[in-house]
Structure 1
Amino acid sequence: MTAEERLAELGLTLPQVVPPLAAYVPAVRTGDHVYTSGQLPMVDGKLLVTGKVGAEVSAEEAQGLARICALNALAAVASAAGGLSNIVRIVKVVGFVASSADFTGQPQVVNGASELLAEVFGEQGRHARSAVGVTVLPLDAPVEVELIAEVR
């Protein structure tokens, strides 16, 4: 089954690439790799939720938002690689979680992104990863995800 077919089976479609909020591009290809800029949980040009995880945003809600971030990152990779089918494997994911001072569940939040990538790419979606708690993210987003993908 192709990545496109898996997305459809999950009831998902690849969104349009989220336009940059500042002086950068959504993704850069160099050789056989595409690096994305950090992707926020934006849908149709709007940030879905604001606030800190562990305060205004629950860990479960943030996990769903990380999934949306990963979908946006896939759109950025696909745009630089000539399509989703040109993604060979996901190499690395970095997830940033805007956290309340006592929140320590960043890895579980970023699992939302990791699990989506595994659902779409199977074993080729398994990756190295970092999950980092931060004080604040752009637009007061709760989660931001970036990734590196190997492409053909």
Structure 2
Amino acid sequence: MSALFNVLIAIAVVALILVRQFKPQQLSGSRWWVVPAVLGFLAVKDGGLIDPHHHAASVTLLGAELVIGVLMGVGWAWTTKIWTESDGTVWSRGTKATAGVWVAGIVLRVGLAGLGAVAGIHMGTGAVLLALAASLLVRGGVLMWRARPALTSYGVAAEGSPRQVWKDRV
């Protein structure tokens, strides 16, 4: 795929995430890993994650990008509000602190990109997609871990008698 296509995918995913992050959304225990897996696949599929002319420096920058992505995912998940409704559904929504995590992550990533550009290191768009995939994967995992007690009790009536639970599809 072309670099332009990867950039457009990254922008579309970030825009979708930002819009959805600050609206309440129901958590479920399935498929939270699909989007990060697709982004990770797109990132490594074409190669070009490492600049062959600056191998060690580009590996270092990629590692730093991934560390920032993981830390951003952890911060994002820990600043997200999680609550359970009276019907037992579990919901989440980003807070002002979540927005701060996003701003800090973007500033750090732009700084890394600038540092790489000054050093003459060519980092492809795959590095951005891979770091975004890492952020989403870690965020989803930590959110599911934080919501685990509420999610495991979902489907049990207040009286303690189990009831069948399924997800309605529209």
TM-score (normalised: structure 1): 0.31
Higher helix share: 2
TM-score (normalised: structure 2): 0.28
- Larger gyration radius, structure 1 or structure 2: 2
